[in-house]
Amino acid sequence: MNRLEHTPKLVIGALNGHTVGGGLEIAMACDLRLACKDGGKIGLPEVTLGVLPGTGGTQRLSRIVGKSKAIELMATGALFSYEEAKDLGLVNDVLPKATFWNDVLAYAKQFVPPGKASKAVGHIKRAVCSGCEVPFESGLAIERELQQQLFQSEDAKEGLSAYVSKRTPAFKGS
């Protein structure tokens, strides 16, 4: 699951069906999570088995929803709806069942060329994920280093040129 978090690509979890226990632990390793309306329940009920969410669940849930709420959710073993998960910030959006897969694909396409500079998206992910694990000043240094790399990219040249020319950029992922 750490590999999901460390890949430079955005990892989008499409949740359709019950997402509990290890399934939620995998979903929490994704960068973004989209859920299907009325698609199932979500939660970490391991306490009802006498164990804890031991595949990163305790660490990831607390970082997503905060320490107190994470303890409450795991200690009760509660299962809840995707709408409640969205309110907690555990899922990014709940999409209609009838168009779920098409909506997931449309959502994902917004992060790639020609509309977005995919290298910049990957560096944003890296800056956030790496920066959250180190002191603030070190996070700023990581951000500066990644920004410097991006300024040398073809997509940055295209983006800045398009801005000056007042046109829509056409990114190529380079």
pLDDT at 5: 87
Strand order in the sheet with 79-81: 19-20, 41-43, 79-81
Indicate which residues carry an active-site annotation. Answer: 25, 46
User: Mind listing the pLDDT tens digit for each residue in 10-51?
Assistant: 999 999 999 999 999 999 999 999 999 999 999 999 999 999
**CATH, residue 70:** 3.90.226.10
| pTM of the predicted model as reported, rounded to 2 decimal places | 0.91
Domain extent at residue 51: 2-109
What confidence category does residue 71 fall into, taking pLDDT thresholds of 50, 70 and 90?
Answer: very high
User: Mind listing the pLDDT tens digit for each residue in 101-110?
Assistant: 999 999 999 9
pLDDT at 65: 97
The answer to the question of residue 170 being in a domain is no
The answer to the question of residue 171 being in a domain is no
The answer to the question of residue 71 being in a domain is yes
* Residues 142, 74 share a domain: no
The answer to the question of residue 172 being in a domain is no
**155, 174 in Cβ contact below 8 A?**
yes
The answer to the question of residue 173 being in a domain is no
